[in-house]
Every structure is written in structure tokens, then in C-alpha cells.
Structure 1
Amino acid sequence: MTAAVPRHDPPSLSQRLRAVPAMTRPLMLDIIEHACRRVSSLGQSERTTRIMRLIDVEAWADAALALVQLELPMWQVRRIAYDDGEWHCALSRERELPDWLDAAVEGRHADLALALLSAFLEVRTLVADVRRPSVPSVRPAPDPLYEQLVCDNFG
């Protein structure tokens, strides 16, 4: 049984991202601490070491992309566009679908890394609301009291 870990609610992190003009190391570490489950569970793996190196050299967009890849393996970057002073980043589970069929989640900000992380947090909020695993699950075992009956009358 796992204990409930107190976390910041993703909307408050989203509000903080919208309010800051540029990415900072403390903000990135706060996002990792409160919104990323796999980084802490993997310990010092190659992927987490790479993310920490990217943070150390302030490669914010690369660190954000690495976080998306690690934390949301079933989601992919669908679109990154710069328009009218803002970056628009869309994440999708079905990147090959046409735009009008896809249910992409979008984030936007004047800073590319913050736009990517805004979309990341939107997906986190969406996935948390759905309450289902990010990987397919197997059907539960049938109820032992359940018995199939054949009701056909071939008489």
C-alpha cells in the first residue's frame, strides 16, 4: 500500500508558469518535485542524470522535452509554433491523426520551455482527472459467483 504524498495541485503550478517571464532552476526543480513521479522513482538512472545535466547547463527546452518523454511516454509533441510573440506547443496521444480529429493539449507562453511545461502540466491535470493508468490494463478476474448460462431453446 502506498502512502499519499502531499503535492502541489497542478493548477497552482500552471498559474506560476503563466506568471513568470522565463524559466529558472528553482522553478524547474519545483515542477520535477511536485509534478513528476517517474524522475524520483527512477533514482539516478541515465535518463534522470541527463535531465539534471540539461538543467545544470540551463537547456530549458531540452530539459522540458526530456521530461515529457520520461513522464508521459504515451504522449508526443504534435506541434511547436511561434506566433505573435508566443510559443504554442501541443501534445497528443495520436500524432498521426488530422488536426480536426485529434484531442491535443496545448500550452502557450512567450518562453519555449514554459510553453512546453504548460502543456505538460495540462496533460498531467487531464490524466489525473481521468483516473486511469497511462498503460493498457488487463481485465479483472471474473467474479467467482458469476456463472454463464445458455438460454437457447433448441427443442
Structure 2
Amino acid sequence: MTAALRHYDPPSLARRLSDAQTMTRPLMLDIIENACRRFTSPAQTERRARIMRLVDAQAWTDAALALMELELPLWQVRRIAYDEGEWHCALSRERELPDWLDAAVEAHHGDLALALLSAFIEVQALAVEASRPSVPTVRPAIDSLYEPVGCENFS
């Protein structure tokens, strides 16, 4: 896990998003501070300024989309739908695939910006999990009594 994401707790942040009724400036700044690695990059000064202008204007949906564009360049919004009082958002790496073949990340919330950011946090959580190896990379110590033996019979 990278040093920038050691204090990052995706389940806690996802819970805060699902419990929130509407987006607020402190919640958005907390997401930016804890879940965004590229935001602080010196190469992203213009994008960072644009996102902060959107946050200052409380344009939460536009800020969420701009943040996803910056932080998840390989992911795209596959679907945004409103059904029975909730926004449903799906993010995908392969948007052109049929639904049944695509492994999209989906989230829902009563507020569109919170639905988008919930899906964003889900993708970030997948990235954190994928960065950890499933098998240890440390090689075991070789036994001092170990000696390779050839056991081919060439007769």
C-alpha cells in the first residue's frame, strides 16, 4: 500500500457518504484529502484549481465528475439513472461492452453527487486492495543443510 493511502479507510468514508443527506464542503474536502492521490500532484495545478472553484461554487456533481476524471483516468461513467427516489451510478473501465459482460462498480444514493462519489470510493477501494500482493514476496531462508542433488538415471 502506498504511503499516501495508509490512513485511507474506504469503508469508513463510504459509510460517511451513505449516511450523509447532502454533500457539504467539509465532506468533499475530506474525500479530496483522504482518497485522492493525484490531486496534490504539481502537474495537476490547473485541474486542481478548477475542482476547487467548483467546490467553492457548491457545484457538487460537476466537482465529483471532475475529481473522477482526474483520479480515475481509465474509468468512465457507464450509467446514471434516477429510480424511486435514488440516483444509481455505474463506473466502468470498458463502457462499450454489454452490461452482462462488464464488471461495473455501482453505487446509489438520494443525492447525485453522493452517488457518484460513492462509486468513486468503491473504485478507489478496489485499487487499494489490488495493490496488495496475494502471496508474500519474501523468499524463505535457505536451509544450510540443503544441497541440490541430481537424480537422473542415464543408463
TM-score (norm 1): 0.80
Task: Write out per-residue CA displacement over residues 114-141 of structure 1, whole angstroms, 9 at most, x where no aligned residue.
Answer: 0000000000011111118xxxxxxxxx
- The amino acid across from 1:49 in the alignment is A
Shift of 1:38: 0.5
Distance 1:68 1:74 in 2: 10
Say if 2:87 is the partner of 1:87.
yes
8 Å CA contact 1:32, 1:39 repeated in 2: yes
Q: 1:3 to 1:101 in 2, by over 3 A?
A: closer
Distance 1:82 1:5 in 2: 32
Which residue of structure 2 aligns with residue 99 of structure 1? 99
Distance 1:43 1:29 in 2: 20
Which residue of structure 1 aligns with residue 138 of structure 2? none
- The amino acid across from 1:96 in the alignment is E
Shift of 1:3: 4.9
User: Number of residue pairs matched?
Assistant: 131
SS at the partner of 2:97? coil
Say if 2:108 is the partner of 1:108.
yes
Distance 1:65 1:49 in 2: 14
Identity %: 71
8 Å CA contact 2:38, 2:71 repeated in 1: yes
Distance 1:119 1:78 in 2: 11
Matches within 5 A, 1:61-72: 61-72=61-72
Unaligned 5+ runs, structure 1: 133-155
Which residue of structure 2 aligns with residue 147 of structure 1? none
Q: 1:44 to 1:91 in 2, by over 3 A?
A: closer
Q: 1:42 to 1:89 in 2, by over 3 A?
A: farther
Say if 2:131 is the partner of 1:131.
yes
SS at the partner of 1:87? strand
Which residue of structure 2 aligns with residue 142 of structure 1? none
Larger Rg: 2
Distance 1:124 1:60 in 2: 19
Which residue of structure 2 aligns with residue 35 of structure 1? 35
8 Å CA contact 1:42, 1:48 repeated in 2: no
Which residue of structure 2 aligns with residue 59 of structure 1? 59
8 Å CA contact 1:13, 1:31 repeated in 2: yes
Task: Write out per-residue CA displacement over residues 58-110 of structure 1, whole angstroms, 9 at most, x where no aligned residue.
Answer: 00000000010000000000000000000000000000000000000011100
Runs of 4+ aligned structure 1 residues displaced above 6 Å come to none
